[in-house]
Structure 1
Amino acid sequence: MVTLYRFQHDPMRFCDSTYVNKLDALLTFSGLDAIKYESGKMSKAPRGKFPFIELDGVIIPDSELAYRSCIDKGIVECLDRRAGLSDKEAAISLSYRALVERNLEEIMGYERWMEHWYETRDKILGDIPALMRPVLAYWLIYRPTSAKYWHTEISRITPEERQRNLESHVRALAAIIPKAGYIMGKATPTRIDATIFGFLTSLIRSPELSPKMIAEVDKYPHIFEYRNRLASEFWPQRKLVN
């Protein structure tokens, strides 16, 4: 039994976090049925963030580290190995992952946490008492997040430049998502399917927090069709979106 800790209380719903949904997908795509879902407080999370798992009584943080631990213990088989990816295909998959986790995730995060700070704060951090939330969120989330975006330079460019970046990266995402089947063209999903599914599920769960990105993704209907197809295939018992 693997216990997956996340923000969402209801096991019949997906989560607002890209990486929680990604780890959920990695485990589920790998055929792991014995997943117990628990919600928890971020203050008790290792590294101060979700997701993390409990495996054989050991707490393991980070989606990649958690999945690797499940592979090493023989609980699941690596999706890429099972699908038979060649070294070249694995390298291509890794570059796709960078597109999502380095670029698109940052663009979405900036729109949420900087441009729609109050809405994001109150939705994502809603478990913090209302009187304490503004102060704690400012010092623990806003200041370090703002500094991060300054160092990565996304906050230094103009809104027009950010919009062009958004358009070009979503266009690239649309180019790699198929209208049928999985990203790498194999008979089974691979790790990049889990990565992209996690990102798109986070996006579609809270469209009001990322209206610019939603508007851009909606120009390519097959993107969310792909996400919904995976959700229906692997989680038929869950609510499709919310």
Structure 2
Amino acid sequence: MITLHQYPEAFGLSSLSPFCIKVEFFLKVAKLPYKNHVEVNPAKGPKGKMPFINVDGDKIPDSSFIIDYLMNKHSLKDLEIKDPGAQAQAIAFKSMIEDALYFGLLYSRWVDPVGFKRMKSEFKSMFPPFIGGPFLEFIRRNLTKQSRAQGLGRHSAEEVYALSAKQISALATLLGENAFFFENKITYFDATSYAFLTTILKQPIDSPIKKAILSHQNLCDYVDRLDVVSGVRK
């Protein structure tokens, strides 16, 4: 049995982390039986992050390594991208989402004062009285430092959101009029693209990143389509 260790639900999403949503969505489309184990403390993960899976005592961390492990272990050929050109695009766009758009999402939640105010009100109740507020401020300071170290946090808010909007536009162009991003079927790539798009759309922060997605009807339709696959919507 696969046990998925992930952050708790938030905003009507299965987890507050798109990386956790990514793995759970993949488990569903791969039709692999699993159970959830909610973690609040990232230090419990083998690499100090969530998610990770436990398979018969073996712990596999990091969403990408988890999916690679499951693809190989269960020979999930139907979820592969077979065309070499499409494979190259998938690698590049996955990196764009997880290494660039992710920091735009992080900025909108924790650095932008408007987003942080909403995050604080949503998550304060998860902690004991008098602890939640200071702890969330501590998280904000750490993530702001992380954002600056990565580079995005050194830009103005307008510049950050302009970069994120370009990334969203690139995704919309890649999808075009297709139902899915590659080979007219769900592939492992959709776990990443869906996880991030649905997280941005469903979190209660009216950020410019959300507005950028809403300006592309094909991306909105794509999320609606995969909500059905994920079980969010029937």
TM tier relative to shorter chain: 0.7 to 0.9
CA contact (8 A) 2:18 2:195 kept: yes
Q: 1:48 to 1:239 in 2, by over 3 A?
A: farther
Aligned residue number for residue 174 of structure 1: 172
For the pair 1:138 / 2:111, whether they are aligned, the reply is no
Correspondence 1:104-115 to 2 at 5 A = 104-115=101-112
Correspondence 1:4-153 to 2 at 5 A = 4-8=4-8, 14-32=14-32, 34-42=33-41, 43-72=43-72, 74-77=73-76, 80-81=79-80, 83=81, 85-115=82-112, 116-124=115-123, 126-139=125-138, 141-153=139-151
Q: 1:159 to 1:9 in 2, by over 3 A?
A: closer
Number of residue pairs matched by the alignment: 230
**Partner amino acid, structure 1, of 2:154:** R
- How big is the shift at 1:89? 1.8
Stretches of structure 2 that go unaligned for 5 or more consecutive residues are none
CA contact (8 A) 1:31 1:76 kept: no
How many Å separate the matches in 1 of 2:169 and 2:24? 26
Q: 1:223 aligns with which of 209, 215, 219?
A: 219
CA contact (8 A) 1:174 1:223 kept: yes
- How big is the shift at 1:218? 0.9
CA contact (8 A) 2:15 2:21 kept: yes
Percent same amino acid at aligned positions? 20
Q: Structure 1 stretch 149-158 or stretch 192-201: which is displaced more?
A: 149-158
CA contact (8 A) 1:8 1:14 kept: yes
- How big is the shift at 1:63? 0.9
Question: More relative contact order in 1 or in 2 (CA 8 Å, sep 6+)?
Answer: 1
Stretches of structure 1 that go unaligned for 5 or more consecutive residues are none
**Deviation digits for residues 68-117 of structure 1 (CA, Å, limit 9, x no counterpart):** 23234x23525553x4x233221111011122112211111101111122
The normalised TM-score by structure 1 is 0.83
**Partner amino acid, structure 1, of 2:129:** A
Aligned residue number for residue 235 of structure 1: 230
**Partner amino acid, structure 2, of 1:168:** K
The normalised TM-score by structure 2 is 0.86
Structure 1 stretches of 4+ with a deviation exceeding 3 A read: 78-81
Provide the secondary structure at the position in 2 that maps to 1:59.
Answer: strand
